[in-house]
Structure 1
Amino acid sequence: MKGRSFFRTIQVKLVIIYLLLILVAMQLIGVYFISTVKNSLITSFTNNLKEQAEMLARFAAPSLGLGPNQEAGDESTVNTTEDLNLVVRNLFSISGAEVQVLDANGTVVATSLQVHQSYIGQKNKSLAVSRALQNIPDNEEEIIDEDNTRKKMIALPVTYNEKVVGAVYVVASMTDLYETVNRVNQIFISGTLIALGLTGVLGILLAHTITSPIQGLTRQAEAVANGRFDLKAPVLGYDEIGRLSMAFNEMTSRLKEALSANEEENEKLVSVLSNMSDGVVAADERGVIIVWNRRALELLDVETFQDVRLSELLGLSTEKMAELQSGRGRTILINREPAESVGSGAGVDLEGSLLRVTFTPIHRRGKGMTGTIAVLQDFTEQEKLEQSRRQFVANVSHELRTPLTTIKSYAEALGDGALEERELAERFVGVISTETERMIRLVTDLLHLSRLDSNQAPLRRRQTNIHEMLDEVADRFSFQLRQKSIGATVRVERGLKKAWLDRDQIDQVLDNLISNAIKYTLDGGTILIAARKTGDGSLLEISVKDTGIGIPKKDLTRIFDRFYRVDKARSRNMGGTGLGLSIAREIVKAHGGTISLHSELNEGTTVSFTLPLLQEGGETE
């Protein structure tokens, strides 16, 4: 596997390319060069043979032209057949070549080889000789004899007085010529191998100069892929690879900055999502949830949204989801599982927790909708407040309507003649006066609550003696206590003397608590007014405990709600407005304390409230 990877490297590929280029170039040059040398040698060899054959033909023409019947003393003939043989053997002998002179009949007259003297007088039946005797000048060919020796054969006609009188036949070995060609070929092959070797070495060096920067870029790219942006690609020059390295380093720097900015934005987004009071859920184009925050888990009371579809999570049908995703800012209300309201909240019990879900589709240019963001808001408290507001308005209207109706009825009765009867008129006027006082108390309490809600009733703290304050409260109600034979006891913890508080407002709280205790305690009962420090000594706790009729458990959670009465008819007859405990709670809350109520039906009720035990300047006592 490593070997295969090695041969796939750019360096090896470049070296192979160099070698192949040199090899192909040398092969083409070699083929052309050797072919040219070979053709040149063969042409030169052939021309040399032709020149000697033509010279021999001109020399032998007079001898062959005399013929066998001419006189020997003719002045135009000086050569004899013996002279021709001598000339052929001595002057026209070519190394390794055979030269024959033939007469017009194709009979050998002379030969250059001593071993072939027996051929004299015999006919040469070669096709080339026949063609030469027919005065065809171009008669040459290459032949291979029995010894596999390549030879060149040339046959030329001999003419005398424009008459063919014979032929010259030359056969020469081409062994030396082809040996020369082979030597040249071997020299060229050796040169090619040397050139390939040098090219391989130079190719490795040149390829290294190219691949070394590429390897540096590769290492840099791998480092960037692994999240390391501190390395820099080496810049070894200002060529294409050098500029590529500089561009890659610049890209790495910008990528690092972009990723840092992206991470910063992601951290901001995570921080915003984590600290949002609303739940956020994002789903992809398939409706599968991919992003959510902790508040969404809390609102929907689940552990994770992994691989959960948004429609299944919210209990919506596919058609409803498509409708919500079709526009921007579509909002629905979802009523979750029933949950009973606890504590002293707004006094409204909903069937379940109410969630408001706002859907916003995510669009991408060219791809349409690619996801959905759902923002979840807990609408339960807002709905409770809205219901409380409506109920409050209804209660106020009812509380005002009853005395107004009574006043109107008695006023009409007086107008209709009841004034004539003094006793009846006095009773009617008394009722009108009572109902008017009741309305005044109601409006006064409402105004007081309004000031407390809007923080328009500032605290006027002053140093107050706790024992003295509780004694004075008991004295104010002494007449009512004696009327019902109720015993009142004030108990203050030893060491508890003074506290900084708004005496008037705390008196109002105590008046409301003791008034309620007297109203709902049967004759002969007892009331305990106690004050003590809490365990760490930082809080003052004041409690009013009675032995009255108590409060049913179902009413305990709403006892501090405005206009709430356990026994509405009895409370109204006793002159209550239903706002006393609400006012007490707001006053205690304004002091930075808390108020609580514990009661058992037919056993009694204990109302306790705590106040910070401060000195002047804000220090605890």
Structure 2
Amino acid sequence: MSGSATLGLRAAGVCVAVTALALAVSQFVPETAGRAQRLAVHAGALALAGAVFWFFTRRLSRSLAEVIAVARAIGSGDYRRRLHLSPGGEFAELAEAVNHMARGIEANISTITDQKTQLQAILDGMREAVLVLDAAGRVRSANPALGRIAPTVGSPLGRRPIEVIASPELQMTCDRLLADGAGPVEGSGAVTLETQLGPGRFYEVSLVRLGIGGTPAEAGVVMVFHDVSETRQLSRVRRDFAANVTHELRTPLTSIKGYAETVLAAAPELAPEKRRFLDVILKNANHMSKMVDDILNLARMEDGQGASPDARAEAGAALADAIRECEPQGQARRLVLDRQLPEGGVAVACDSGQLTQVWRNLLENAIRFGPEGSRIAMTAETDPVRGVATFAVLDQGPGIPPEERQRVFERFYRVERHRSKTPGSTGLGLAIVKHIVERHGGRVWVERGRGEMSGAAFHFSLPLARTADPAAPVAETATEARLATPAQSS
């Protein structure tokens, strides 16, 4: 039974008891008693009833006053206050409910305080600077690392980001994130940009919007500054070293190739053993020359400032150019090329020459690892809603183990168990593919093939060109081009 119902029953019981007592007292007055005596008896009964009511209401008022006082104390932040009422009293259940509420609030506040202390300790110990903005775009909090990268006069709290860090791009990004506190921003509300703060100091800034899906008052932005100056410096040194070394190697390699070719052509009467030695020299010189060219191409691409926004290429035409360049390798191994691209073409936002290089590197990889006489498939799918085209090169080779699928895109990395069986690989082809695709806003990955194409399945995606027709159907063809061996074509 609830506390209010119990209190009401008790009050009704007291009223009934007092009324019954008053009536019972009047029955004991003798009939011979005078009017004055009767009035005195009734007055005494009423006085007794009044005393009982006074005692009862005083007890209730004291209990109620204590409940009010404790509730106000809890509301003011004194979560350790408790109600101490007699067990079985009118407000016993209410007191227990208030005490339970106070214990729960105290536990929650303690947990929040501990978490806040831990978070503050983490922020204070971070090497990365952290800025937190409120819904108005003002700095709400910052950690001490901010002072090391952007010294300010006084506290940064309450200032706009551009007043703390002189970067208009950073300020505009914060304004864009806060412009619509409840709407989506680039899908996840996260943005990454790179900015220079001082000579030779570069920072990668990660911005995450707070309160996604909430009210505008709950919006905010968290900025984390990652110092990438040393990484950029090391990357630049590595690129310069690679470019300088490979440039110096080109002249002696050209001389070696030239002399070997000249001797082979000018001395047909050479002994077979000597001719074999010269063939080995020429073969390895060509391999080294290709590696030098790949390193130089990769260095040039890394020094670029990004893809042109007007770049446009037709994927089918780029694939056709790549097939023509890979034809001698395919003929030597009697491979079947299954070209499954849309007849209407797929226009993507990519440099045409670099897209051809992507296709060529992936085809060379498939030709190198695919079994002799096997099939290689090239496919394409478009997603007009997302504005992305996804391409794939599938082979029937041994595939790539799951633990090595990320590393195959690293420079000079080759799957160990195939190294001795695949001469001619520089270990840079897939790294170049990854760099070109990501430079144009796409991504590249590899997985296990399915069905008949059970080898490696290399996929890469690129943004569709702006003028591409999003309603164009993806009608795949299965035109097979068999590359005959020289003996078969003769």
For Structure 1 versus Structure 2, the TM-score category normalised by the shorter chain is 0.3 to 0.5
Which one has the bigger strand percentage? 1
Q: Which has the higher contact order (CA 8 A, sep 6+)?
A: 2
Taking structure 1 as the reference length, the TM-score comes to 0.33
Rg comparison, structure with higher value: 1
